[in-house]
Amino acid sequence: MVKNNILIIGSGGREHALGWKLKQSPKVNNIYFAPGTAGTELVGKNTDINPFDFESLIKFVKENSIDLTIAGPDDVLASGIVNTFEKHELKIFGPTKEAAQIESSKAFAKNLMRENNIPTARYKTFTDAEKAKDYTRKHGAPIVIKASGLALGKGVVVAKTINEAISAINDAMIKKVFGDAGAEIVIEEYLEGKEVSIHAFSDGKTISLFPTARDHKPIHDGNRGPNTGGMGTIAPLSEISEKEINEIKEKIVTPAIQGMKKMGIPFTGCLYPGLMMTKDGPKVIEFNSRFGDPEMESYMRLLETDIFEILNACVEKKLSEINIKWSKKIACCIVLASNGYPVSSQKGIAINGLEKFAHDPEITTFHFATKKNGNNFVTNGGRVLGITATGETLNEALKKAYSTIGPNGIHFEGMQYRSDIGRL
């Protein structure tokens, strides 16, 4: 059998989960990460190449006979890594810079939705702060203020009061806290309902939906406190019916992929719409052009088909030839974050107890941001670890994952986590 060498770009829990799954493929030989984390070294080799240094990445790919590269992070995709690799006729999984605009430019995404009748919140874009404030005062709260460009998941304020909305506009447009990403803002109708994450593999024409998932964005229990990159996931969601999944496919994912194909910018990679299940049906909150983190950690525990074959089929535009199978179990991921997150993070804090579960077949711990200090792992950022488990029921999965956390299990000083993942 032909064995393939893989390069994964990025350094989150998502990349660790992807590498962990790829390692199980009989078609995969060496797995490299650029730059990776101490966790990714458990499944492959790290290189210290900067993900934005495309020239060095290409040199590495050629020198190490890499057969397939997978680009994880949104900003690397938006910078055109896929365009550059394709110019060199190198295989890479992910959307081109143009297609990645579905995430990198909220204005582009909103246009696509309008042109293709994809349900989403009503909105208006502004480049003038005073006009934005007038519009906000006229509409009243709750209202949602979003920086149009990429702002590392922090560019969205769900304002409960007019004052909150005005200060969000000031932050983005006057104080420029998101830099250029906030030069243009989108002001959006507040959507009420439960949030659902949808992922779909796409080769530009064919799509294949993952099971549904739910992320938990705010830092504290009860969805309180500031938004984070995501504090935990469950998949699939028992309350979403087949009928609703079909509605999501027919009204949202298919028209988005078809719409982009029609525009001459086909989307290859993973399309990840964040949805709100409103009383009028599913509506798009945002589109992401990549795998979710920590959605991927739960998903990789459920995927039964060889992921190399899927990613390769997307790149070769042969997704229709693959039948993707998912386990019937339920998976969860509980994120352990460092003290101060999401505002700040503490690095170098010793992590205890990892070894207790290292060989437990029920538990897989993915590393978001860790470093090795001698033989021990220490924290190296905001979100530190994602503990995953599966079960026949959600309760069983959650019980297993939570039972690993605490003074007798996995813990570190200042550790924060939500105790209500899967409970909302």
Interhelix angle 295-302/13-22, nearest 10 degrees: 20
Question: Which two three-digit tokens encode residue 223?
Answer: 């969805």
Contacted by 188, from ligand GLY, ligand AMP, none: CB < 5 to 8 Å by type: ligand AMP
* Overall residue count recorded for the chain in this entry: 424
Q: Which of ligand GLY, ligand AMP, none binds 191 (CB below 5-8 Å, type-dependent)?
A: ligand AMP
Amino acid at site 191 = L
Kindly report the three-state secondary structure assignment for every residue of 16-32: HHHHHHHCCCCCEEEEE
Determine the interface stretch with ligand AMP among 34-42, 43-51, 129-137, 186-194 (rule: CB under 6 A).
186-194
- Enter the DSSP assignment of 242: H
**Residue 230 in contact with ligand GLY, rule: CB under 6 A:** yes
CB 147 within 8 A of CB 155: yes
Neighbours of 122 (CB within 10 A): 11
* Residue 295: CB minimum distance to ligand GLY, A: 5
144 binds ligand AMP (CB under 6 A): yes
Q: Around 171, how many Cα atoms within 13 Å sit in the side-chain half-sphere?
A: 17
Considering only 89-97, 185-193, 288-296, 371-379, which stretch makes contact with ligand GLY by CB under 6 A?
288-296
Query: Site size for ligand GLY, by CB under 6 A?
Result: 8
3-state secondary structure 111-149: HHHHHCCCCECCEEEECCHHHHHHHHHHHCCCEEEEECC
| φ, ψ for residue 397, nearest 5 deg | -65, -45
Which residues lie below 8 Å from residue 159, measured CB to CB, with a gap of 6+? 141, 142, 143, 144, 145, 165, 168
- Candidates 184-192, 292-300, 302-310, 348-356 — which segment interacts with ligand AMP by CB under 6 A? 184-192
Residue found under tokens 């941001």: 369
Please pick, from the candidates 288, 298, 380, 404, the single residue that binds ligand GLY as defined by CB under 6 A: 288
Residue from 103, 184, 203, 293 in contact with ligand GLY (CB under 6 A): 293
**Residue 295 touches ligand GLY, criterion: CB under 6 A:** yes
Residues between 189 and 208 with contacts to ligand AMP, criterion CB under 6 A: 189-191, 195
215 is an interface residue for ligand GLY by CB under 6 A: yes
CA distance 233 to 216: 6
User: Could you tell me which of 85, 32, 86 has the C-alpha nearest to residue 58?
Assistant: 85
292 in contact with ligand GLY (CB under 6 A): yes
Q: Which two tokens stand for residue 18?
A: 């992807």
Q: Between the CA of residue 281 and those of 100, 190, 198, 329, 412, what are the distances in Å? A: 26, 15, 15, 26, 42
Q: Does 80 bind ligand AMP (CB under 6 A)?
A: no
Instruction: Tell me the residue type at 151.
Output: A
218 binds ligand GLY (CB under 6 A): no
Sign, CA dihedral 242-269-207-100, equals positive
DSSP code at position 297: H
CA distance 222 to 23: 37
Of the pair 40, 105, the CB lying nearest ligand AMP is at 105
Question: Where does this chain touch ligand AMP (CB under 6 A) — which range of 18-26, 185-193, 320-328, 346-354?
Answer: 185-193
| Minimum distance, C-beta of residue 405 to ligand GLY, in the bound complex (Å) | 20
Answer with the entry of ligand GLY, ligand AMP, none that 285 interacts with (C-beta below 5 to 8 A by kind).
ligand AMP
Q: CA–CA separation, 111 vs 3, rounded Å?
A: 42
Residue 414 binding: pick among ligand GLY, ligand AMP, none (C-beta 5-8 Å cut-off by kind): none
Give the nearest distance from C-beta 86 to ligand AMP in angstroms.
28
**Closer to ligand AMP by Cβ: residue 58 or 271:** 271
The reply on whether position 281 binds ligand AMP by CB under 6 A is: no
Residue 11 CB, shortest distance to ligand GLY, in Å, is: 14
Q: Minimum distance from CB of 41 to ligand GLY (Å)?
A: 23
Binding mask 323-362 toward ligand AMP (x if CB under 6 A, else -) reads ----------------------------------------
Q: How far apart are CA 59 and CA 32, in angstroms?
A: 14
Tokens of 52: 């934005």
Query: Using CB under 6 A, which residues numbered 250 to 279 contact ligand AMP?
Result: 274
Q: How far is the CB of 293 from ligand AMP (least distance, A)?
A: 13
Going by the DSSP 8-state scheme, the letter that residue 182 receives in this structure is G
Of the two residues 35 and 153, which places its CB atom closer to ligand AMP in the complex? Answer: 153
Q: Does 353 bind ligand GLY (CB under 6 A)?
A: no
Interaction site with ligand AMP (CB under 6 A) = 121, 144, 153, 156, 158, 188-191, 195, 217, 227, 274, 285-286
Interaction site with ligand GLY (CB under 6 A) = 153, 215, 229-230, 288, 292-293, 295
